[in-house]
Amino acid sequence: MTYLFIADLHLSPEHPRLVRGFLDLLVHYQNKNTQLYILGDWFNAWIGDDYSAAWLDELVEALKQFHHAGNQIYFQVGNRDFALGQRFLKQFHASLLPDIDTLTIGHLHIRLEHGDLLCTDDVSYQKFRKIIRNPLLLGFLKSMPLSFRQKLANGFRQKSAATKQVKSYAIMDVNQQAVVQAMQSVDVLIHGHTHRPNIHSLNNKKRIVLGDWRAHEAQILEIDDNQPDQDLQLKTWCY
């Protein structure tokens, strides 16, 4: 069995090349008995499971075929698509994971998360996250018209882009103490969010940061359960 981990695709109709890259990935792994884990920011923005569009319909059909071939799909929400729920995922029999999840492959105990909770130095973001993820507020927003939600999402993206211009590089990265605490009972931590793909060693453990999907390539992680002692390395997916 192949375990495939990806994050930060930021799919949208404005970037068809990224969408095509993801569709090609599904085809490539379709006959490899794959468990696909998407660790947040699958979409550049998600305004609700009632949203529909032609480009999204094509993606859903491809995911249905992927599942029909015997593969499994798992998704964790990110800071861009936290409103995505089981209503959308059930179309292709995918599972919605909690914000923090664990997985065991061979002898490896693995923690999975999007990665934003590790960035504790970004105090303003953590406060915003706590507010916007409140179930009552989120339920209220989902009840609003799609047009309103679209404007709200556009506003969030613009504010996020402006904020990144003034925040320091260090503040938007993970906090080392938060990482140490997160890895206390696991061998490997896999996350995205920071857009800084790398493999970090910490006390004989590994923190694997998945890459964001740029114009032509992405850094992804593939683990083969038939090779439990393999040296974990990021893999470049070109499209």
Tens digit of pLDDT for each residue in 72-91?
999 999 999 999 999 999 99
Cα-Cα-Cα-Cα torsion 12, 112, 197, 156, nearest 10 degrees, comes to 40
Q: What's the token pair of residue 79? A: 């800071």
Q: What's the token pair of residue 1? A: 């069995």
Does the pLDDT of residue 161 top 70, yes or no? Answer: no
* Percent of the chain predicted with pLDDT > 90: 77
φ, ψ at 19 (rounded to 5°): -60, -45
Contact 42, 75 (CB under 8 A): yes
Contact 30, 65 (CB under 8 A): yes
Please give the Cα distance from 24 to 63 (Å, whole number).
Answer: 11
Q: What is the pLDDT of residue 141?
A: 82
What integer is the mean pLDDT of 118-127? 95
Does the pLDDT of residue 171 top 80, yes or no? Answer: no
Instruction: Name the pLDDT band for 225 (thresholds 50, 70, 90).
Output: confident
Does the pLDDT of residue 41 top 80, yes or no? Answer: yes
Q: Which fold has domain 2-238?
A: Purple Acid Phosphatase; chain A, domain 2 (3.60.21)
Adjacent-strand bridge partners of 198: 209
What integer is the mean pLDDT of 91-118? 97
**Secondary structure (3-state) at 187:** coil
**Total residue count of the chain as it appears in this document:** 239
Q: What is the pLDDT of residue 70?
A: 98
What integer is the mean pLDDT of 188-205? 96
What's the whole-model pTM score? Answer: 0.92
Q: Where are the domains of the chain?
A: 2-238
Q: What is the pLDDT of residue 206?
A: 97
Q: What is the pLDDT of residue 185?
A: 96
Q: Residue 112 carries which DSSP code?
A: E
Q: What's the token pair of residue 45? A: 């923005």
Query: Which residues are CB-contacts of 131 (< 8 A; sequence separation ≥ 6)?
Result: 137
Tracing tokens 């529909």 back to the chain, one arrives at 52
What integer is the mean pLDDT of 207-234? 90
CB atoms within 10 A of CB 135: 7
Instruction: Name the pLDDT band for 228 (thresholds 50, 70, 90).
Output: low
